[in-house]
Amino acid sequence: MSLYEKHIFVCENQRPEGDPRGCCFSKGAQGLTAELKKLAADAGLGKKVRINKAGCLGQCAFGTAVVVYPDAVWHRNVPADGAQAIFEQHLAPMGNK
Ligand code: FES
Protein backbone atom coordinates (compact mmCIF):
# COMPACT_ATOMS: atom_id res chain seq x y z
CA MET A 1 0.00 0.00 0.00
CA SER A 2 1.36 3.38 -0.98
CA LEU A 3 1.55 6.10 1.64
CA TYR A 4 0.78 8.78 -0.93
CA GLU A 5 -1.33 8.84 -4.05
CA LYS A 6 1.16 11.10 -5.82
CA HIS A 7 4.81 11.77 -5.19
CA ILE A 8 6.47 14.71 -6.92
CA PHE A 9 10.21 15.26 -7.06
CA VAL A 10 11.59 18.66 -8.02
CA CYS A 11 15.29 18.89 -8.80
CA GLU A 12 16.85 21.57 -6.63
CA ASN A 13 20.41 20.55 -7.34
CA GLN A 14 22.82 23.46 -7.02
CA ARG A 15 26.15 23.75 -8.80
CA PRO A 16 28.77 26.48 -8.58
CA GLU A 17 28.22 29.50 -10.78
CA GLY A 18 29.89 28.97 -14.14
CA ASP A 19 29.49 25.19 -14.15
CA PRO A 20 28.78 24.36 -17.81
CA ARG A 21 26.07 21.89 -16.84
CA GLY A 22 24.03 24.58 -15.09
CA CYS A 23 21.59 23.54 -12.40
CA CYS A 24 17.90 23.62 -11.61
CA PHE A 25 18.47 25.65 -8.44
CA SER A 26 19.65 28.62 -10.50
CA LYS A 27 16.50 28.39 -12.65
CA GLY A 28 14.05 28.91 -9.80
CA ALA A 29 13.47 25.35 -8.63
CA GLN A 30 13.17 26.31 -4.96
CA GLY A 31 10.23 28.60 -5.62
CA LEU A 32 8.64 25.95 -7.80
CA THR A 33 8.76 23.39 -4.99
CA ALA A 34 7.36 25.86 -2.47
CA GLU A 35 4.51 26.86 -4.78
CA LEU A 36 3.62 23.23 -5.52
CA LYS A 37 3.47 22.51 -1.80
CA LYS A 38 1.27 25.54 -1.23
CA LEU A 39 -1.11 24.61 -4.05
CA ALA A 40 -1.41 21.04 -2.75
CA ALA A 41 -2.02 22.21 0.82
CA ASP A 42 -4.57 24.82 -0.26
CA ALA A 43 -6.43 22.10 -2.18
CA GLY A 44 -6.55 19.90 0.93
CA LEU A 45 -4.24 17.30 -0.58
CA GLY A 46 -1.58 17.47 2.10
CA LYS A 47 -2.11 13.87 3.21
CA LYS A 48 -2.44 12.43 -0.28
CA VAL A 49 0.53 14.09 -1.93
CA ARG A 50 4.22 14.23 -1.11
CA ILE A 51 6.39 16.87 -2.76
CA ASN A 52 10.13 16.59 -2.26
CA LYS A 53 13.17 18.41 -3.48
CA ALA A 54 15.51 16.09 -5.30
CA GLY A 55 19.10 16.03 -6.36
CA CYS A 56 20.07 16.03 -10.01
CA LEU A 57 17.59 14.09 -12.11
CA GLY A 58 19.97 13.94 -15.06
CA GLN A 59 18.04 16.42 -17.18
CA CYS A 60 20.13 19.54 -16.53
CA ALA A 61 20.44 20.52 -20.17
CA PHE A 62 16.68 20.95 -20.43
CA GLY A 63 16.01 23.23 -17.46
CA THR A 64 14.27 22.54 -14.18
CA ALA A 65 13.23 18.91 -13.96
CA VAL A 66 10.16 17.55 -12.19
CA VAL A 67 8.95 13.96 -12.10
CA VAL A 68 5.54 12.78 -10.89
CA TYR A 69 4.78 9.26 -9.66
CA PRO A 70 2.92 6.99 -10.10
CA ASP A 71 2.12 8.87 -13.30
CA ALA A 72 5.77 8.40 -14.39
CA VAL A 73 5.59 11.74 -16.18
CA TRP A 74 8.72 13.81 -16.53
CA HIS A 75 8.59 17.57 -17.00
CA ARG A 76 11.71 19.26 -18.29
CA ASN A 77 12.44 22.94 -18.64
CA VAL A 78 9.75 23.86 -16.14
CA PRO A 79 9.72 27.63 -15.63
CA ALA A 80 9.94 29.11 -12.14
CA ASP A 81 6.23 29.96 -12.40
CA GLY A 82 5.26 26.53 -13.72
CA ALA A 83 3.75 25.10 -10.53
CA GLN A 84 0.17 25.89 -11.48
CA ALA A 85 0.37 23.92 -14.73
CA ILE A 86 1.82 20.86 -12.96
CA PHE A 87 -0.80 21.15 -10.23
CA GLU A 88 -3.62 21.27 -12.77
CA GLN A 89 -2.30 18.30 -14.74
CA HIS A 90 -1.52 15.97 -11.85
CA LEU A 91 -3.09 17.14 -8.59
CA ALA A 92 -6.27 19.06 -9.30
CA PRO A 93 -8.08 15.98 -10.67
CA MET A 94 -7.53 14.30 -7.28
CA GLY A 95 -9.79 16.85 -5.64
CA ASN A 96 -12.72 15.43 -7.59
CA LYS A 97 -12.34 11.89 -6.22
S1 FES B 1 20.59 19.84 -11.99
FE2 FES B 1 18.44 19.47 -12.18
S3 FES B 1 18.33 17.79 -13.54
FE4 FES B 1 20.45 18.06 -13.20
Structural domain boundaries in the chain: 6-77
Which residues, 6+ apart, have CB-to-CB distance to 37 below 8 Å? 51
User: Across all residues in the chain, what is the average pLDDT?
Assistant: 93
pLDDT tops 90 at residue 95: no
**30-46 average pLDDT score:** 96
CATH architecture, domain defined by 6-77: 3-Layer(aba) Sandwich (3.40)
Distance from C-alpha of 13 to C-alpha of 93, rounded to nearest angstrom: 29
Question: What is the reported pLDDT for 73?
Answer: 98
**38-55 average pLDDT score:** 96
- Residues with CB under 6 Å of ligand 1 are 11, 13, 23-24, 56-60, 65
Q: Using the 8-state DSSP alphabet, how is residue 5 labeled? A: S
| Lowest-pLDDT range of 7-11, 44-48, 61-65 | 61-65
Question: What is the reported pLDDT for 62?
Answer: 86
Distance from C-alpha of 59 to C-alpha of 21, rounded to nearest angstrom: 10
Question: What is the reported pLDDT for 10?
Answer: 98
pLDDT tops 70 at residue 15: yes
By most ligand atoms within 8 Å of CB, the mutation choice from 10, 12, 13 for ligand 1 is 13
Closest alpha carbon to 90 in 58, 51, 64: 51
